[in-house]
Amino acid sequence: MIKDTQSFHRPQQAPSTLAVWALLAAIFVAVPFASLFSPPLLDDADAGHAQLAQHMVDSGDYVTPMIDGVRHIEKPPLPFWLVAASYKVFGENTFATHLPNALALLGLTWLAWLWARRAWGDRAGLYAGLAVLTSVGPFLFTRFIIPEVELSFFLLVALYSLVTGFEEHRPLRFYWIYVAVALATLTKGLIAPVFFLGAAIPFLALTGQWRRWRSLKPLTGFLLYFAIAAPWHILCGLRNPDQGHPIGNHPTIGNVHGFFYFYFVNEHILRFIGQRYPHDYNKMPAAVYWLGQLL
């Protein structure tokens, strides 16, 4: 006897785009957006980074961020620019401080929905959007001002542009790669192009798309990247030629390294290998770090 298996089939009809985004918007408003008003700013990164944005608004200096008169140019400025813009609109308060991170999380939700919907259909898009918007990690790590959610958003825009540019034969879309990576560089530093290339190079190699490298507009694309990412670094270097630490172990003698050494060498290369000066932080052992990525 042949059994009717129709009752075991999953429903094929997917919710409409309007219904999906009504649900996602409701979750966003009920959880990430509603929690922007409390708790108050935390110590260290949260309140300290908020002071950087506050100084920009109060002083009008958007090149050299400061905390209580001390220059803080270890990090690129875009996250502080975003908070400063939020202060201009909504005033200096907890809501305005955390709003850029919440909007970046909404952007990640949109990208997850867009990408999964394109690859596997409407139902997959819904599940992907829900996965991002209801995950504990993204929620917790957007409760204070760290730029990882903005970095993730810009890098995923770049990777999505890379994939769809080849698949849909839209060469102009490749320029979005350079725009997004430049904004990611202004968000987190040189780790942004490193992360992008770490994903893009294997993709190009495995798919054979490396043969179409000219489609990536490398010359004009790099010019666009530098036009966006370079001006702040140049201005900051010109305005802070004495930023850095003394050569050697004697803080009162010797020549002082300039901003470019301080920013690119000390805060990028030496920090990554655990040799940053001053050594005021703990570096996770390499084996534990990579095991954490796998987990």
**Do residues 113 and 24 touch, judged by C-beta distance below 8 A?**
yes
- Of 39, 52, 59, the closest CA to residue 83 belongs to 52
Helix (H, G, I), strand (E, B) or coil at 59: helix
Res 253: pLDDT: 37
Res 282: pLDDT: 74
Residue-by-residue pLDDT tens, the chain, 295 positions:
445 545 445 556 778 899 999 999 999 999 999 999 988 888 778 899 999 999 999 999 999 999 988 888 889 999 999 999 999 999 999 999 999 999 999 999 999 999 999 999 999 999 999 999 999 988 988 888 899 999 999 999 999 999 999 988 888 899 999 999 999 999 999 999 999 999 999 999 999 999 999 999 999 999 999 999 999 999 999 998 876 655 555 444 344 578 888 888 888 888 888 787 777 777 778 888 888 878 8
Domain range annotation of the chain:
17-145, 147-239, 241-295
The whole-angstrom separation of Cα 23 and Cα 126 is 9
Res 252: pLDDT: 41
The whole-angstrom separation of Cα 168 and Cα 176 is 14
Find all residues with CB under 8 Å of 254, minimum gap 6, and list them: 246, 247, 248
Q: pTM for this one?
A: 0.88
Tokens coding 132: 């991002």
Q: What is the DSSP string of 149-194?
A: HHHHHHHHHHHHHHHHHHHTT-GGGHHHHHHHHHHHHHHH-THHHH
Q: Facing residues of 66 across strands?
A: 71
Res 9: pLDDT: 56
- Of 77, 72, 100, 71, the closest CA to residue 87 belongs to 100
**Residue 82, phi-psi category: left (phi > 0), alpha (psi -120 to 50), beta (remainder):** alpha
